[in-house]
Amino acid sequence: MKHSSIVGGSTASRVINCPASVNLVAKMPPQPSSKYADEGTLLHNAMAEILDHGLAAEEVLGMTYKEHVLTQDLLDDKILPALSKLSELDPKGEMEFTPEVKVDFGDFMPGVFGSSDLIGRLDNRALILDWKFGSGVLVEAEENMQGLFYAAAAMRTPALSWVFDDVTEVDIAIIQPPAMKVWRTTVKRIKQFEKQLVAAVRESKHKDAPMSAGSHCRWCAAKPLCPLMTGAVDRMITTQLANINPEQIGAFLTQAEIVEEWIADVRKLAHQLLETDIKVPGYKLVAKRASRQWASPDKAIIKLTALGLELNELIKEELISPPQAEKVLKKHGLQLPDELVISVSSGSTLAEDSDPRPAVLQIGRQISDALSKLN
């Protein structure tokens, strides 16, 4: 989805800290995409497809974006861990949400808009969630300006008023597999941020707009033109790079790969131990996020047609999923009968004992073991 050229979620920190950057960036030619950005877009598209249509994660295998294909490795390393973390936020599956939604400030700040990965409401709290699929530095949720931007814009978006009605608290969540960070803030803090943003956008229109260097410069496309940067490049190359030992960096990278493989093997072993009822102190197995399925497709067709739906609304090569049927029913002012649907988890995943989700019982395995002994 296209983003505002004035300021958006990913540029809010830069614009607030350096209003002059808006005009500098406007002078730069369009930036080419990278393979990392394209892979990130593919993963974001896959998450939106899963959540918007109630698909099982495996159903997006083979999905493409430009030259990138969603492989089993990406599913295992990115998509499934992201869905697992979403389940931690909403263990009972009660959250109402909308994925990949456009938010804007309307007439309050014309031309300022963006696209939020997921906006929802759980109990009396609003949730602003951002997927981060890069494997670099972990992104912090606390005072995250991208999250604050989406929250402020969402509060100005009429179609999302249901998220914020009578809400005083807002959770800003960053899911960066396998990590998740959540910051609980207030509507008052979001309004304060909005004032900062408005002031920065107003200042950016002035010829002598304030300019400053800092961490917000990292992804700024205007660095080659920036007066604060051009005088420092040569000095940085000759001083900082000269102090780096390439051999040591290479050794660290080798050690990092070994440690990463070891961590993955330890998690796998812990999962196997817990599956066989061997306790691992501090950890348990919990059910992965459940997807809704028809208890009986035949009965669902009979019941839904009796409610007045046409077969061509229900069957697109095969029977549509429960979430899709729910949307069709809403158009007719009807609700999906609860008895037609069951929630089925795709398996278990490792979690700390402090996780609010209940531990998975290994009753089936125990019964199987007992029967095998009788035989």
pLDDT digits (tens, 9 = 90+) for 157-197: 999 999 999 998 999 999 999 999 999 999 999 999 999 99
| Cβ neighbours for 237, distance < 8 A, ≥ 6 positions apart | none
pLDDT digits (tens, 9 = 90+) for 307-340: 888 888 888 778 888 888 888 888 888 888 888 8
- CA angle 252-254-258, nearest 5°? 110
Instruction: Inform me whether the pLDDT recorded for 4 exceeds 50.
Output: yes
Cα gap 311→82, rounded to integer Å: 35
- Do 43 and 79 contact (CB within 8 A), yes or no? yes
Residue 143: per-residue pLDDT: 95
Question: Which listed CATH number (3.20.20, 2.60.40, 3.30.950, 3.90.320) goes with 12-227?
Answer: 3.90.320
Residue 4: its H or E element:
none
Percentage of residues in the chain having pLDDT higher than 70: 90
How much helix, strand and coil, in percent to the nearest 5, is found in the chain? 45, 20, 35
Report the predicted TM-score, pTM, of the whole model to 2 decimal places: 0.62
More confident residue, 174 or 34: 174
Strand extents, DSSP E, 212-347: 283-287, 290-294, 315-316, 318-319, 341-345
Strand extents, DSSP E, 151-249: 169-176, 179-186
Instruction: Inform me whether the pLDDT recorded for 64 exceeds 80.
Output: yes
Residue 180: per-residue pLDDT: 94
pLDDT digits (tens, 9 = 90+) for 294-312: 888 888 888 888 888 888 8
- Cite the residue boundaries of each domain of the chain with CATH code 3.90.320: 12-227
- CA angle 114-117-121, nearest 5°? 105
Region 236-260: mean pLDDT is 70
Region 207-222: mean pLDDT is 86
| β-pair partners for 65 | 68
pLDDT confidence bin for 367, thresholds 50/70/90? very low
**Helices and strands (H, E) in the chain, number of each type:** 15, 13
Q: What is the DSSP letter of 344?
A: E
